[in-house]
Chains A and B, each alone.
Chain A
């Protein structure tokens, strides 16, 4: 497993896209912090960029990478290696290199300009989102053999988690505004890893007061250490479930 992981990481690093991604993040975070007079404001702007860009790049790059390494996978499957080791090596290779890219591109500027609990939470959530979306990409690429379908599916999934899901939640809120939905909202936020990260970072930023009564319920639920642990657990489940499903699929795949 270590052997294969080494080759996967070397291959990804040689691929210029990850370097470009790192520089893009670095450029964005440095300019955001330098444009705003107050670094807390900079962090808020960075939050919105990270919640859009990180999942998008991670899911698309990973999906394309998995399809492009079909030769590599085919070569390895005929060798004395466990299929599980091959699949997990690709997962860890992608997760490790994209996490490193995020840490260099966004983590280091955040530590330089705003190294407090909010900054740390933002780095943690960025890393979580990176790994969650690599895992979702593994599932999308594992579901279909057709590269175009697979990439389309992962774009759809990204669109769902960043826009459509919120739209549905808003729709429900308006439809059932006569009912107390605050507790249900807490539950619903667990169904979307991006929302989960957004809530955690916003609560750290102390602007949850702007969110009205729902914000207060969120504060009550997510604000304490139990809530933080629960949302971390939620994100870990978001990593594990797609990965386990894709692994199951890959084990039975004909090559």
Chain B
């Protein structure tokens, strides 16, 4: 579904992505892991076309995405820090996105809007929202258009336990529909029952990309957090 070849991106002298090649398939739920500044968000933004790589190509459904835009119809993106026009209300932002993205007969998926209780505060302005509520808006927008691919950048950061559980259930539900989900997160414990593959990056390079089951077998651990810790501390599996 998404294939990237030798993607390199520099910000000044800093290499955010160093010759990274990726292959993400449909029906998988992939965790992008790695320390802060390892290039996870840059990789996501490259896939979205928000960052233009210095070299390398990215193909989405066998189409080169350079200067393309229609493929983004199939992506629901939840940014790490959602930034919205401050003077608009939640309802206005939602309506605007619907207006911009509507390609005719789309059925809106408003499940998260309801379960997060956003429908009760629709007339609040974006400026007045707390960080967590803004995250809820971002999440609702990502799921609103029933896309085939979800790209979630730290989806549960800032959410209360109840809401992050709701979001998790929603992700599992979408995964079972055979959609591709990319998640970055630092809270490994909550990824255990979500993901099927692990994509680990360090200093802009891909360290490994493995099935979760294979990873657990290699390390002999049943928990993702322990398996990752084992690999990172350099202990032989």
Q: Which residues of A contact B (CB under 8 A)?
A: 3-4, 7, 11, 14, 69-72, 74-83, 251-255
Contact = CB atoms under 8 A, between A and B. Distances in A.
Interface string B71-106: 111000101000111110000000011011100000
A75 B81 CA distance: 11
B120 interface: no
A105 B48 CA distance: 43
A75 B101 CA distance: 12
Contacts of B96: 7
A3 B79 CA distance: 23
Given A254-B52, A255-B45, A80 B73 contact: yes
A69 B67 CA distance: 22
By secondary structure, the A interface counts as helix
Interface in B90-140: 96-97, 99-101
Contacts of A74: 50, 79, 83
B166 to A, nearest CB: 23
Nearest to B83: A71
Given A251-B67, A254-B51, A254-B52, A79 B101 contact: yes
Given A11-B85, A71-B85, A83 B72 contact: no
B49 interface: yes
Given A3-B99, A7-B96, A83-B69, A77 B49 contact: yes
B162 interface: no
Contacts of A72: 84-85
Nearest to A74: B83
B33 to A, nearest CB: 22
B70 interface: yes
Given A14-B87, A74-B83, A80 B72 contact: yes
Contact of B97 (A14, A77, A79, A252): A79
Contacts of B50: 74, 77-78, 254-255
Contacts of A255: 45, 50-51
Contacts of B83: 70-71, 74-75
B72 A78 contact: yes
B87 A252 contact: no
B100 A82 contact: no
A71 B86 contact: yes
Contacts of B87: 11, 14
Closest 6 CB pairs of A and B: A80-B72, A71-B83, A80-B73, A254-B51, A255-B50, A72-B85
A57 to B, nearest CB: 21
B100 A79 contact: yes
A80 B85 contact: no
